[in-house]
Structure 1
Amino acid sequence: MVERGSGVAVWRQIGEQLAEDIRNKLYAPGERLPTEPELAAKFTVNRHTIRRAMSELEQLGLVRIEQGRGTFVQEHAIDYAIGRRTRFSENLLNQGVLGYIEVVACQSLRAGDIAAHLGLARTASLLRVQAQGKAEDRCIDVSEHYFDEARFPDFAEQVRERRSISRAFAHYGVTDYTRQWSRITAALPTPEVARLLGQPKTRPILQVESLNVDGNGTPLQYSLTRFGGDLVQLVVASDTP
């Protein structure tokens, strides 16, 4: 299966064989690969060699490694539309994927620049909700959302219960809102964002900074959303209703 003394590292030969198997569809998108012990036995190598090969495949974006679950073939990127009405769950449902929001943490804070985006005094109390956007059970984004705490005092609890920002807004009587602007950049993730996305720190992400407003044009929500660069393809939609 591998040729020792060929001048090509054994771990690289294993990685190339597994990459070829993935490209030839021997393993389907989302399928879990054999475990490290199984692959070590198959190629007659130690687990460290298998781990090195898997790390290379992860760097190439062919697999994702989930701690405690195993190594999975990377799925195709999801088209995520950004337009006048950007809705996480609807974006995914349009592609036959169940999408939902999971709250990671929340806190009260003061941040003058963000308060200014929300049309508030720089000393206003803000609510920051940190969340993961899930497609089925796969995390495709890590986000921070900021709200006027006086207007939405228990927004995090509403999102936890409803697993949707839109449905949480509806709880407060906000039945519709629109995207005033979005700013898209590429960046490297922080260690924490990389951990939550389940990707290497060296793989770029797509970052979307945005502001949503209500029907009167009053700012509702300032957000920073970081998408896995190989998990999501951002599609900028026209501004039609």
Structure 2
Amino acid sequence: MSKGTYRFSGKVAVVAGGSSGTGRATAIAFAQSGAHVVILDRDAVGGARTLEMIRRIDGLADFISCDVADFAMVKTAFSQIEMAFGRLDYAFNNTLIDGVWSSPTSCATEAFKDIINTNLYGVLHCMKSEIPLMLKNGGGAIVNCVSAMGPVGAVGMPAYVASKHAVMGLTKAVAAEFSGKGIRANCICPGSIDAPMLESLLTAPPVNRIERMEEIAECVLWLCSDSASFVSGHIMADDGGVVAL
């Protein structure tokens, strides 16, 4: 994505899970397009690195230490955002953990809950704070990261797959309730990317290469842009054809 593809100057974008990987690439892309980016993550070291990368390109960004599984922390973070900016235009909820491998019959209940708390409740916590702030300024756009494990299943990851299926349903529920009030909500489902977790699960997609982080960021920004003004409740499989196999 070239600098300035989208015009987000004067806008505020939250990236939950922006300290590395897809979240970092998307935070940088928002900044390149003129948005003031607020990164939420419990990884302060990674967050500082993302801030450094954004400021190196003269972008605007802040970091707030936040564990999205803790609703009190999320509420505090968004109170800070409201006090600082008085608005929120875009949100990319990219919070996830994969947990340990197991079968549905041997998965420990507490381990299952840990994954659900971050992958599902983390997204819920963020949207519960994002939506009211967006409504105060006439609307906005939310993109939730699901991965290719949302539309399909996978052996050995029952909690992860269940959490991603649930996020898709939650996103559709938000789209159904708030699209008429100016808030669009969509999901992206990256497939075979340069990440250890998915490398172990997925073979090369039909396009026969690994997806670049910047390509995922491009999907997020397009869904947030006016070019996607009539797109809400959509599950975008930006996976090179993985779910088509």
TM-score (norm 2): 0.25
Structure with greater helix percent: 2
Structure with greater strand percent: 1
Flag the structure with larger Rg: 1
